[in-house]
Amino acid sequence: MRSLLFLALSLCVSTSLYAESSDWLSIPVVNQESEPELAEVLDTDGPSSQQLIQWMSTASKHGIDIPQSKWLQLASDPSLQNVRQVAHEYASYLDTGRLKPAIYQPSWHIQDRPSLPVLEDHMGADSLDLVESKLPQYRHFVAALKRLEAWVVGVEEHFPKDLILEKGDRHPSLLKLNQWLVDLDMADRLPAGKYSLAHETAVKRVQKKYRIYADGQLGPRARRALVAMTLDRIKILKVNMERMRWLPRTLPYPHVMVDIAGFNVAWVTGENKKRHFRAIVGKPSRQTPVFQEEIESITVNPYWRVPSSIASTSILRKVKKDPGFLEREGFSVYSGWKAGARKVDTSTVKWSQYSRRNFPYRIEQKPGKVNRLGRFKLDSPNAFSIYLHDTDRPELFKREVRTFSSGCTRVENIDQLIGSILKYQGMGKQVNGLMKQKETGRLKLRKKVPLYFVYFTAWPDKQGRIRFRNDIYHLDGALLAKL
């Protein structure tokens, strides 16, 4: 690949290229089905072919592999027109990603408007990076990818082949090992003086993952496992950098972000101004989707209108086993979903004759201690009937893996999140009244708050260190295979 790049560069340097005078990104954005057409050459200050090829050679730092066929194309035809066409394609990768979410992660429903058509008229040789994601997390991904790739290249330099470390040993390589384990998210703080129990524990975790005898010693086999994990981490980083490019180039402040795989909700008012809350998300069989919406109001003491998908399955199963379940839990049953539907006497219903396919009823749960929504619900009408709300089971927030809901997101201390939103909108005086309210009520926000449900299996913490998560919905596979 590198030889092809050098060939393309040398050809560009030695070839007299038209007049290097057009705007390199003046290629219109077109559908894949149609042939790309070059716009007129207008800008006399656009970057040269050599500058563009050098820029494209940095694709790897973004976790992007430009296809070999493109380098061959440039090597065989280094004309300015051809270079700009390939450069535009690379720019589109940086802008909206190389892969289509609809194919590789169909549950992703956040619409990303391409920035390239807006930016292309303002980009010159010194501003080619304008098209990159400007989300603050993205630069942490780039930095982490560089560090991990350096470990793979430098393992022999940092760790002699005959080196074996066990508890109590001292060696200059220990500082490098500490940083490597931290970069892999396999440890937080490790002693610098000697190989400790903490080192053994971290190394054993790596050994077990790759089915190597877990003796905790840093020997050749353990280092091989560390390299294998590093390569796996690099792949996961690339997957999540691609997801980052599926998001809009920037997000507005303030906003609320639901980090599904991280089991938390963040109230974000600036790049370094965030408040996190633990969250419960959808179980694997009822996954919380990725989408964007707006919070427009807050409902206190809400009724829970049970979605048909839940009423006709889990609720129906419970009623068949325990006919008194509905009354005991405060549920009411209605003849249908229309506004004028009549209330049904549950004792007259023969539940055994119904299944998911023919279930005709609407079920609602009144406010109370056992109401699944708890005391508060943040209203953000959407096609998925997914909301942020309180819970009747706060003890579940203590669990490490919190996939217990039917798709909605339950938020710990949701009253504090609501208080932060109201105060930011100058509605702080209404907080106390809302918290004390006993009846069902709804408070409309002065300004709608952008809400994003996202799914990332790697994400930077407050210090910018990348933390790797479990792929709770097994969504990485298709992306890993392609990238």
Reply yes or no on whether 158 is catalytic.
no
Give CA separation, 256 vs 12, 252, 448, 476, in Å: 48, 10, 11, 24
Active-site annotation holder among 122, 140, 408, 474: 408
DSSP string, 218-243: BSHHHHHHHHHHHHHHHHHHHHHHHH
Task: Please report, for residues 77, 109, 367, 369, 374, the alpha-carbon distance to residue 288 in angstroms, rounded to integers and kept in the order given.
Answer: 48, 11, 24, 24, 19
In this structure, the number of other CB atoms found within 10 A of the CB of residue 454 comes to: 20
The secondary structure of 401-453 as a DSSP string is S-EEESSSEEETTHHHHHHHHHHHTT-GGGHHHHHH--S-EEEEEEEEEEEEE
H-helix or E-strand containing 362? strand 362-365
Instruction: Name the E strands within 205-321.
Output: 255-259, 264-270, 273-282, 291-300, 304-305
Farthest-apart Cα atoms in the chain, separation: 89
Q: Which of 62, 140, 199, 389 is catalytic?
A: 389
| 12 classed as catalytic | no
| Three-class SS of 15-79 | CCCCCCCCCCCCCCCCCCCCCCCCCCCCCCCCCCHHHHHHHHCCHHHHCCCCCHHHHHHHHHCCC
* Nearest alpha carbon to residue 86 among 96, 73, 75: 73
Is residue 145 a contact partner of residue 238, using CB atoms and an 8 Å limit?
A: yes
Query: What is the CB-side half-sphere exposure of residue 86 using CA atoms within 13 A?
Result: 28
CB–CB of 80/453 below 8 Å? no
Distance CA(185)–CA(179), nearest Å, equals 10
**Closest-CA residue to 325 (of 353, 302, 349):** 349
Q: Please state at what angle helix 80-96 crosses helix 68-76, rounded to 10 degrees.
A: 160
Residues with catalytic annotation?
389, 408
